[in-house]
């Protein structure tokens, strides 16, 4: 009988503590003012899942802008991301995300994004290919320092760069050296960010 009364008393106390926030998850510090995540943006990835890009906070990211129908420069951007991966140890790769953001959301639906991911054999544990909403493309490009212009034939002229974001979304480094030859200074910055 005594055990029964203790259980009855403990249950309301536990509910009261939960309601009062005594068992709350720790809060994250506010975003730094220079974080790209200050810009709200919703992305839809190759799996058709939509998410706020601020959900990447906490994991360093190599980010680039591209579009799936590009036949020339964008495949080299993918090669650059793969070269960075190859230069890292397995443990380092596990702590890094690679995010390719489309500048052509009208055509780059999840199916088009998945086609590139499969064709290029990109590991979905680390790589996300995603499209922002049409009204977010300019903002995302602006905070990443990517310039682009759509041509009459539907193709794009654009900056070709990899941008390294730290855990809070601050730009730490960028490289415009694209292709399968890795930029050693950029990789050194990636390693430094991963070690912190």
Residue 2 has pLDDT above 60, yes or no: no
7 within some domain: no
Share of the chain above pLDDT 90, in %: 80
Phi, psi (rounded to 5 degrees) for 170: -85, 140
- Choose between 32 and 14: higher pLDDT: 32
Residue 1 has pLDDT above 60, yes or no: no
Residue 130's closest CA among 52, 59, 192?
52
Question: Residue 25 falls within a domain, yes or no?
Answer: no
Q: Residue 97 pairs with which residues in a beta bridge?
A: 61
Lowest mean pLDDT among 22-31, 64-73, 100-109: 22-31
* Residue with the larger pLDDT of the pair 26 and 23: 26
Do residues 103 and 137 touch, judged by C-beta distance below 8 A?
A: yes
Structural domain contains residue 16: no
Number of separate domains in the chain: 1
Q: What is the CATH number of the domain that holds 111?
A: 3.40.30.10
Dig out the tokens for 119 from the structure: 């064709």
132-160: pLDDT as tens digits: 999 999 999 999 999 999 999 888 989 99
- The answer to whether position 113 is within a domain reads yes
**pTM of the model as a whole:** 0.84
In a domain, 12, yes or no: no
Look at residue 167 and tell me if it is in a domain.
yes
* pLDDT score recorded for residue 95: 97
3 in a structural domain: no
Per-residue pLDDT band for 26 (boundaries 50, 70, 90) equals: low
| Tokens found for residue 46 | 């190759």
pLDDT, residue 23, reads: 45
Q: Supply the range of the domain harboring residue 52.
A: 31-195
Query: Contact, 140 vs 40, CB < 8 A?
Result: no
In Å, how far from its chain's centre is CA 114?
16
């Amino acid at each position: 009988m005594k055990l029964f009364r203790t259980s009855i008393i403990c249950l309301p106390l536990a509910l009261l503590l939960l309601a009062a926030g005594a068992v709350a998850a720790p809060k994250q510090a506010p975003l730094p003012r220079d974080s790209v995540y200050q810009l709200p943006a919703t992305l839809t990835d190759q799996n058709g899942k939509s998410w706020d890009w601020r959900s990447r906070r906490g994991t360093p990211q190599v980010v680039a802008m591209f579009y799936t129908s590009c036949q020339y420069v964008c495949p080299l951007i993918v090669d650059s991301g793969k070269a960075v991966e190859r230069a890292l140890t397995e443990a380092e790769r596990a702590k890094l995300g690679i995010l390719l953001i489309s500048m052509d959301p009208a055509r780059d639906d999840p199916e088009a994004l998945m086609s590139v991911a499969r064709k290029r054999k990109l590991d979905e544990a680390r790589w996300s290919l995603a499209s922002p909403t049409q009204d977010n493309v300019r903002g995302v490009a602006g905070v990443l320092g990517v310039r682009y212009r759509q041509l009459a034939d539907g193709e794009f002229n654009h900056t070709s760069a990899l941008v390294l974001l730290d855990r809070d979304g601050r730009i730490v480094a960028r490289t415009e050296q694209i292709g399968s030859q890795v930029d050693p200074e950029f990789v050194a910055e990636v390693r430094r960010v991963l070690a912190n």
